[in-house]
Amino acid sequence: MAGGKNSTTITKFILLGFSEFPKLTAVLFSVFLGISLMTVSWNMGLIMLIRMDSHLHTPMYFFLSNLSLLDICYVSTIAPRMLSDFFKKYKFISFMGCTMQYFFSSLALTECCLLAAMAYDHYAAICNPLLYTAIMSPTLCVQMVAGSCVTGFFGSFIQLCALFQLHFCGQNVTNHFFCDLPQLLILSCSDTFFFQVMTSVLTVIFGLTSVLVIIISYGYIIATILKITSSEGRSKAFNTRASHLTAVTLFFGSGIFIYMYPNSGDSLSQNKLVSVLYTVIISMLDPLIYSLRNKEIQDSLSRWRKTIFSWCY
């Protein structure tokens, strides 16, 4: 990252965070601290419930526990720095610190693959119930999760290597609360055409491929559900899969808004608010989305409540 003769190489960036709301600093800090704590506790609670209850030792809940682990990693990557910056006058972050926050990218790419794997699991359960156990073997489930992690980290590593080739000079202020890719590209003095093309290719490979798998899977699922003669059976099948569709819509919808629309000075604040949705809010909502209308999880909670009461009395 050597600069030219008449330029100064930037080694630190300034994150404006939510400094446009100085009177709400304490309120925003309290809100985001509460959200972060709830995200970690709710997701950790869901992981523990799935691990401790043998009734939930199925592929569906294996994938769900790994999704909860991803949500905890999301918050652990973004929230600590964001919270500490609320009371800092100068919100500096080094270039290397930015690259560490870029770990978020690998989590997002991993989640794309994991959501597609969960859609395939739902397809196997609804469309091939008699062969479901044979299709979704424990070995295959582990391989799908491991493959999601490896491909996600590999895709992020490619982007990170390209990011190290960019030169930053002059402007070093970004209107964001973490080092997100679109904002870093705006600050770069280098030609970012190759980086943007590479990012588009990765978006197609990860994003569109995952969406395609999800759409095809749910096409077969809906067609199969509509063939169920019992209205109660159709309702139960739809309710079971609706939580996954809700999570998919929130995740991909917010991601498309951020990464598919060009940034402008007028849209940066709006993009920052949407970033709060997909970095913090969705991670908190995921355990609720998958639990509130899930009878198996509610039954598991009831069993554990009865067990705890029996211990106490």
The predicted-structure confidence for 261-296, as pLDDT tens digits, reads as follows 555 445 566 777 778 887 888 889 888 888 877 888
**Helix 295-312 vs helix 282-291: angle between axes, to the nearest 10 degrees?**
90
125 exposure class (CB count in 10 Å sphere: 0-12, 13-18, 19+): buried
Q: Where are the domains of the chain?
A: 12-307
DSSP 3-state of 1: coil
Region at 170 (left for phi over 0; alpha for psi -120 to 50; beta for the rest): left
Are 275 and 78 in contact by the 8 Å Cβ rule? The answer is no
| Mean pLDDT value of segment 54-58 | 91
118 exposure class (CB count in 10 Å sphere: 0-12, 13-18, 19+): buried
13 against 235, higher pLDDT: 13
Q: Indicate yes or no: pTM above 0.85.
A: yes
146 against 255, higher pLDDT: 146
pLDDT, tens digit (0-9, with 9 covering 90-100), for 84-143 = 888 887 788 888 888 777 788 889 899 999 999 999 999 999 999 899 999 999 999 999
Burial letters for 247-270: b for 16+ Cβ neighbours within 10 Å, e otherwise? Answer: bbebbbebbebbbeeebeeeebee
Assess whether pLDDT exceeds 60 at residue 171: yes
Pick from 145, 120, 77, 52: nearest CA to 283: 77
Query: With the C-alpha atoms ordered 296, 300, 301, 306, is the resulting torsion angle positive or negative?
Result: positive
Assess whether pLDDT exceeds 80 at residue 3: no
- H helix runs in the chain, sequence order: 25-52, 59-85, 95-101, 103-127, 132-135, 138-163, 181-187, 193-202, 209-226, 231-260, 268-276, 282-291, 295-312
8 against 88, higher pLDDT: 88
Distance of alpha carbon 44 from alpha carbon 276, whole angstroms: 21
End-to-end CA gap in the chain: 66
Q: Provide the mean pLDDT of the chain.
A: 84
Q: Where residue 312 falls among pLDDT bands split at 50, 70, 90?
A: low
Assess whether pLDDT exceeds 70 at residue 208: yes
Query: With the C-alpha atoms ordered 200, 206, 207, 212, is the resulting torsion angle positive or negative?
Result: positive
Distance of alpha carbon 132 from alpha carbon 293, whole angstroms: 23
Look-up of token digits 């909860």: 68
Q: What is the pLDDT of residue 81?
A: 87
Out of 3.75.10.10, 1.20.1070.10, 1.10.540.10, 3.30.479.30, the CATH code matching 12-307 is 1.20.1070.10
Q: Where residue 8 falls among pLDDT bands split at 50, 70, 90?
A: low
Q: Where residue 44 falls among pLDDT bands split at 50, 70, 90?
A: very high
| Mean pLDDT value of segment 248-273 | 69
Q: What is the pLDDT of residue 268?
A: 60
Assess whether pLDDT exceeds 90 at residue 70: yes
